[in-house]
Amino acid sequence: MALSRQTEFKITPATKKEIIKIIDERIREAHVTKEDFSELKAIVKDLAVAQQELAQAQKRTEQRVDELAKAQQELAQAQKRTEQRVDELAKAQQELAQAQKKTEQRLEELAQAQKRTEETVKELVVAIKETQKEIKILTREMRDSRTEFGSFQRTMSYAFENEAYRMLPKLLKEKYGIDVKEKFVRLELKGKEINFFAKGRQNGKEVYIVGESKLKLDDRVEKLKIKRKQKDVFQELQEKIDIILEEYPPLDVIKLLVTHFATKGFIEMADERNIIVVQSYEW
């Protein structure tokens, strides 16, 4: 039978010392690691906070980026509108330049027209001067013609009156029952020329016959004179009748107007005033 044998282990002082040294080192290492771990936890905590802050900053950055992107988009739209406006301004400027060109052409045309007008005016001034000379000549000729015509008219009037002097007595007798006792004469009293004056008898009574001679009697002319408050033929005749009655003994007066032609309206006006109108075709 084999015998068990227990080996006896003895710790020597040197071994003990080494063991203690090793244990102290282990303890020291364990202590350093714990402190480092605490520090690491603090660092991790700080890193977590920093990471959270960084996340928030990132979020704000993203929001800012979105805002910048939106602003950039608005800026791009504004840029597009600006470009459109620039195009419109360029087009307007081009149209303005064309309008300016047309205006300059029009001004040139107007300047040429003005020049032609000035030349025409000069020609007209010369023509007017010549016309004025001709007018002066014509005025003299017309004045002479008017004088000649007046003389001719008076001659015609006197010839007409002379014929009436011969024809009136018979006509007044046959048509109005007036007897002319003395021949008709032409009188001038108080600066007035009385064309017809004679004494006569009507219905057994002595009367004066006072008359005027006119080549033509027109109611429109006389109405216009009355409207304008001008002396009409009836007033002229009455003035001469008044002169006769001032110069001769008072008698009834037969009013007489002798003419080549009287309008129907004038004859009606004369009838309203009890005036006899004799036209040359009646004798």
Residue 58 lies in a domain: no
pLDDT at 2: 43
Q: Which residues pair with 192 in a beta bridge?
A: 189
Residue 129 lies in a domain: no
Assigned token pair, 29: 């290492």
pTM of the model: 0.48
Residue 60 lies in a domain: no
Residue-wise pLDDT tens digits, 214-265:
999 999 999 999 899 899 999 999 999 999 999 999 999 999 999 999 999 9
The alpha-carbon radius of gyration of the chain (Å, integer) is: 70
In DSSP notation, 197-240 reads EEEEEETTEEEEEEEEEEEEE-HHHHHHHHHTT---HHHHHHHH
In degrees to the nearest 10, what's the CA dihedral of 250, 255, 259, 264? Answer: 170
Residue 92 lies in a domain: no
* Cα–Cα distance, 30 to 57 (Å, whole number): 39
Residue-wise pLDDT tens digits, 71-110:
888 888 888 888 888 888 888 888 888 888 888 888 888 8
Residue 87 lies in a domain: no
Residue 109 lies in a domain: no
Domain CATH for 213: 3.40.1350
In degrees to the nearest 10, what's the CA dihedral of 216, 219, 224, 227? Answer: 140
Assigned token pair, 7: 């080996």
In degrees to the nearest 10, what's the CA dihedral of 229, 230, 236, 241? Answer: 20
Stretch 158-174: mean pLDDT, rounded? 92
How many residues comprise the chain?
283
Q: Residue 209's domain spans which residues?
A: 177-282
Read off the DSSP letter of residue 8: P
* Cα–Cα distance, 92 to 38 (Å, whole number): 78
* Cα–Cα distance, 171 to 196 (Å, whole number): 15
Residue-wise pLDDT tens digits, 40-80:
677 667 767 777 887 888 888 888 888 888 888 888 888 88
Residue 215 lies in a domain: yes
Cβ(239)–Cβ(190) under 8 Å?
no
Helices assigned H by DSSP within the chain: 13-176, 219-227, 233-247, 264-272
Cα-based distances in Å from 180 to 66, 159, 175, 207, 211: 133, 21, 13, 9, 13
* Cα–Cα distance, 174 to 278 (Å, whole number): 13
Cβ(255)–Cβ(210) under 8 Å?
yes
Cα 30 versus chain centre, distance: 113
Cβ(194)–Cβ(187) under 8 Å?
yes
Q: Of 164, 166, 145, which is closest to residue 156 (Cα–Cα)?
A: 164
Residue-wise pLDDT tens digits, 174-221:
999 999 998 899 999 999 999 999 999 999 999 999 999 999 999 999
Domain count, the chain: 1
Residue 252 lies in a domain: yes
